[in-house]
């Protein structure tokens, strides 16, 4: 009876985006709670594992992309920690005190952290592009100092781009819609959404598509040249050259390409719904909840891709 009373309090005082009526509101709130609690646990556990592996394997630091991968792991870990806010709000009775501020801060933090992940993926693609197109001057172009400066700029840029949401210009995302105030009183703005798309989503996607297209094009040309040489001059020297050529870079690029592809597959429904809702074309609480937490689940998917794609 106490548990039933507690769940009823949750359904009455918290926004349940998937609920379509009073009859199933309790079941929907329980479902939402299970989803959010499970994702929170997986995100925190998975990214702690990635950080632990990097800490215990110094050889991984020889890869320049390790700087960005670790940054993504910390950002995703903070996403999981931030998700404790709605988790605790669902598991306990909410008094509604400062709910608007809590929801704004939570939505802002999640948006900034995912912006960091998106920017890191773009920087990783640029790093691999330079490694393949400029192998002789790569070590002079990409230095640890420049990588650290780049990461600092990513964090600063991500913090600044979502800052206008605090001054009443739009809503950074639906991450706080588990709170009733976020779902009903904090509305999206088409201009702010367009601002975010033009300065974050679109440039990152363009950079990634451009760099990986040229990476695989160069690797394909290199493989074709090696096969032609083997056909003309079948010797051990050519075989050795083929084994030590771009194939490791290609495999490494494939792993990173999978990570990037999964990221955009999980985030694309969220971005599309964000644009449609901001333009007042579509408004569906169920889609809002599903696309939001599907996108947030990417913070755990990266850890799975690391382990399945690359033994190192």
Gap between the Cα atoms of 42 and 301, Å rounded: 9
Architecture of domain 30-229+247-310: Up-down Bundle (1.20)
pTM score, two decimals?
0.76
Gap between the Cα atoms of 23 and 11, Å rounded: 11
Q: What is the mean pLDDT of residues 267-293?
A: 82
Q: What is the mean pLDDT of residues 130-140?
A: 87
Strand, helix or coil for residue 210: helix
Least confident of 99-103, 188-192, 233-237, 277-281: 233-237
For position 151, what pLDDT does the model report? 94
DSSP state of 170: -
Report whether pLDDT(208) > 60: yes
Domain ranges of the chain: 30-229+247-310
**How many helices, marked H, and strands, marked E, lie in the chain?**
14, 0
Report whether pLDDT(300) > 80: yes
Report whether pLDDT(258) > 70: yes
Gap between the Cα atoms of 33 and 223, Å rounded: 50
Q: Could you tell me if 152 and 111 are in contact, meaning their C-beta atoms sit under 8 angstroms apart?
A: no
Say which residue, 89 or 210, is predicted with more confidence.
Answer: 210
Least confident of 70-74, 175-179, 242-246: 242-246
Q: Could you tell me if 78 and 113 are in contact, meaning their C-beta atoms sit under 8 angstroms apart?
A: yes
For position 2, what pLDDT does the model report? 44
Say which residue, 158 or 219, is predicted with more confidence.
Answer: 158
Instruction: Return mean pLDDT, the chain.
Output: 77
pLDDT 10s digits, 46-63 = 899 888 888 888 777 777
DSSP state of 73: H
DSSP state of 136: T
Q: CA nearest 17: which of 171, 173, 180, 172? A: 180
Strand, helix or coil for residue 173: coil
Token pair in block for residue 122: 């773009």
DSSP state of 171: -
Q: Could you tell me if 164 and 192 are in contact, meaning their C-beta atoms sit under 8 angstroms apart?
A: yes
For position 157, what pLDDT does the model report? 94
Tally of residues, the chain: 312
Q: Could you tell me if 155 and 237 are in contact, meaning their C-beta atoms sit under 8 angstroms apart?
A: no
Question: Which band of pLDDT confidence, cut at 50, 70 and 90, is reported for residue 160?
Answer: very high
- State the distance between the two ends of the chain, measured CA to CA, in whole angstroms: 51
For position 116, what pLDDT does the model report? 92
For position 139, what pLDDT does the model report? 87
| Residue 87 backbone dihedrals phi, psi, to 5 degrees | -60, -50
pLDDT 10s digits, 217-230 = 887 787 777 777 77
Kindly give, in sequence order, each residue whose CB lies less than 8 Å from that of residue 20, ignoring residues fewer than 6 positions away: 28, 286
Find the farthest-apart pair of alpha carbons in the chain and give their distance in angstroms, rounded.
82
For position 153, what pLDDT does the model report? 95
Q: Could you tell me if 231 and 92 are in contact, meaning their C-beta atoms sit under 8 angstroms apart?
A: no
Kindly give, in sequence order, each residue whose CB lies less than 8 Å from that of residue 262, ignoring residues fewer than 6 positions away: 298, 301, 302, 305
Gap between the Cα atoms of 110 and 219, Å rounded: 36
Gap between the Cα atoms of 309 and 208, Å rounded: 19
Say which residue, 79 or 63, is predicted with more confidence.
Answer: 79
Q: Could you tell me if 95 and 158 are in contact, meaning their C-beta atoms sit under 8 angstroms apart?
A: no
Least confident of 95-104, 207-216, 273-282: 95-104
């Amino acid at each position: 009876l106490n548990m039933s009373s507690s769940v009823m309090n949750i359904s009455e005082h918290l926004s349940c985006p998937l609920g379509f009526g009073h009859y199933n509101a309790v079941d929907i709130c329980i479902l939402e709670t299970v989803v959010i609690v499970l994702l929170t646990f997986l995100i925190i556990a998975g990214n702690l594992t990635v950080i632990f592996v990097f800490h215990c394997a110094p050889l991984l630091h020889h890869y320049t992309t390790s700087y960005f991968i670790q940054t993504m792991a910390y950002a995703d870990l903070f996403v999981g920690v931030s998700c404790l806010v709605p988790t605790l709000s669902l598991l306990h009775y909410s008094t509604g005190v400062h709910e608007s501020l809590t929801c704004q801060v939570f939505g802002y933090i999640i948006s900034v952290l995912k912006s960091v992940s998106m920017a890191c993926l773009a920087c990783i693609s640029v790093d691999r592009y330079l490694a393949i197109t400029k192998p002789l001057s790569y070590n002079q172009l990409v230095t640890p100092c420049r990588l650290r400066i780049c990461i600092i700029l990513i964090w600063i840029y991500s913090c600044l781009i979502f800052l206008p949401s605090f001054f009443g210009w739009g809503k950074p995302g639906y991450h706080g819609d588990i709170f009733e105030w976020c779902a009903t009183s904090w509305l999206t703005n088409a201009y702010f959404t367009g601002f975010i798309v033009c300065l974050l989503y679109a440039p990152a996607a363009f950079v990634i598509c451009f760099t990986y297209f040229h990476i695989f094009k160069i690797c394909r040309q290199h493989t074709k040249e090696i096969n032609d040489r083997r056909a003309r001059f079948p010797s051990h020297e050519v075989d050795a050259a083929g084994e030590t050529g771009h194939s490791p870079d290609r495999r490494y690029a494939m792993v990173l390409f999978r990570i990037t592809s999964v990221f955009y597959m999980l985030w694309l429904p969220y971005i599309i719904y964000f644009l449609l809702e901001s333009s007042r074309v579509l408004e569906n609480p169920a889609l809002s909840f599903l696309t939001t937490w599907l996108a947030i689940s990417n913070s755990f998917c990266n850890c799975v891709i690391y382990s399945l794609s690359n033994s190192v």
